[in-house]
Structures are given as structure tokens and as C-alpha cells.
Amino acid sequence: MEHRSVPFWSWNGLLEQNELDAQIEGFKKQGMGGFMIHVREGLETPYLGDEFIERIKETVAKARKEGVSAWLYDEDRYSSGMGGGRVPRLGGDAVRAKALSLTICCDYETDDSIQAVYQASILGNELLSCKRIHNWKNPISLLGGEEIYLVMRRHIASPNEWCHGDTYPDNMIPSQPDYLSRRHMIAIRKPWERSLGVRFQGFLRMNHLFEDFRSSLMNRSCLG
């Protein structure tokens, strides 16, 4: 049959090749055209470790033997973009998730998290005036009792277990998809293809979505 189902295949436990082979045979027996390897929460075999690489290689070889297609879908854990925790570790704070906070105050202490400081006048919910202080490390005196400072600070996300002991990446910078596609996806795809002598059917989502995502970010940055 030319058109057949290709289901998501969740890898969410200890990967044992005998069990993987049996499930591939089950897919074929039920008329499936292949499978999409989909790493999910609960995976006990370390993601991208030597054992995981071997399971991928042998699984793709088994798929070839059974005449079904093998796809790699997405990566380890939601949301996409972490590269199994490698993206933030490779890029450091430059590609880690960030937040911007606003503090309304009459005085402030300078630190490296400050991105901008404004001298403003607010009446109720109305902003009457606002002027950026360029030399915010040496703030000028407030001119009146109604004037305050608006202090903008950038905060780097804290490491957490869900993000593999690091943080979620900042997807709003053009370099983040580069770390994922060039340093993660391509780096792991080529050795497998060379060792097997065949190509995967594809990298669904990781390949195409992030290329589109990177293009949209570049277009957005060009628009200012």
C-alpha cells in the first residue's frame, strides 16, 4: 500500500532492544508504514548517551530490515528547543530564557541586571512624563515628590530538573535555533547515517519547524 499510518512511538522507559524490535514487528503486522521515535518524560536510558545512540542505530537497522520507515520526532521533553539540555549549556546565559521586570521606586541600587532606568511622573494610572536616564549608575536627584524611578531589570532563568538541570532557552533570539539545528540535530544525525549507510526518513518537526522558526525570527528582527 502506498499510504499507511506512521504513529508516534513514545520512548519513555528503559530502552531494551529486544522489546523495541518486537514493537517494530508489531507495527508492521498491524499495517503501519513506519514509526516516529518520540522521546517523552520517563525515559530511563540517558538521552543522547552511548546506550541511547546504540538503540537508535539498531532500531533504524531493524526498520530497514522490516521494510518500514523510521523518523526522529522532536527531542527530549516539552517544549522543543532545549536539545536535551545541551543548547543552554553550549550557549550560556546568552541563549537561556530571560524575563524583564519593572520596579517602581524612589531609590535603587545599581547592579548588572539593570537594562534601563527612567525618571517618571505618575498620577493614578496615568503616566504624565517619562525620561530615560542614560547615566543610571549615577542617578540624578528626583525633581519632585511625585517623580519616581522606573527600573528595568533582566533576569536569567534558574536551572530546574525538567530542563535537564539547566534552563529553557530564549527562543526569541536568532542564534538559539542555530545551536539546536547545527550543534544538536546535525551533530547527532550524521554519525548515525554514516554508521548505518542509510539516511533516516527524516527529522520531523526538529528539522523543518526550527528552520521556519529561524526564518520568522530573522524576518521579525529586520522589521525592527
User: For the segment 77-132, what is each residue's pLDDT rounded down to a tens digit?
Assistant: 777 778 788 888 888 898 899 999 999 988 888 999 999 999 999 888 889 999 99
* pLDDT > 90? residue 2: no
User: pLDDT confidence of 182, banded at 50, 70, 90?
Assistant: low
Helix (H) / strand (E) element for 37: namely: strand 34-39
Helix (H) / strand (E) element for 132: namely: strand 126-132
Q: What is the pLDDT of residue 118?
A: 94
Q: What is the pLDDT of residue 124?
A: 83
200 three-class SS:
coil
Mean pLDDT of the chain: 79
What's the mean pLDDT in 63-69?
A: 92
> How far, in Å, CA of 24 to CA of 37, rounded?
11
Q: What is the pLDDT of residue 67?
A: 92
Other C-beta atoms lying within 10 Å of the C-beta of residue 93? 12
* pLDDT > 90? residue 62: yes
Q: What is the pLDDT of residue 208?
A: 33
Between 71 and 155, residue with greater pLDDT: 155
Please state, for a pLDDT cut of 70, what percent of the chain lies above it.
75
> How far, in Å, CA of 157 to CA of 100, rounded?
11
What's the mean pLDDT in 51-79?
A: 87
Between 19 and 142, residue with greater pLDDT: 19
- Domain-wise residue ranges, the chain: 8-89+162-222, 98-156
pTM, rounded to two decimals: 0.64
Q: Please give the single-letter amino acid code of residue 199.
A: R
Tell the residue number behind the cell numbers 538521552, with chain if given.
47
Q: What is the pLDDT of residue 178?
A: 63
Q: What is the pLDDT of residue 224?
A: 29
Between 7 and 124, residue with greater pLDDT: 7
Closest listed residue to residue 213, CA positions, set 177, 189, 187, 182: 177
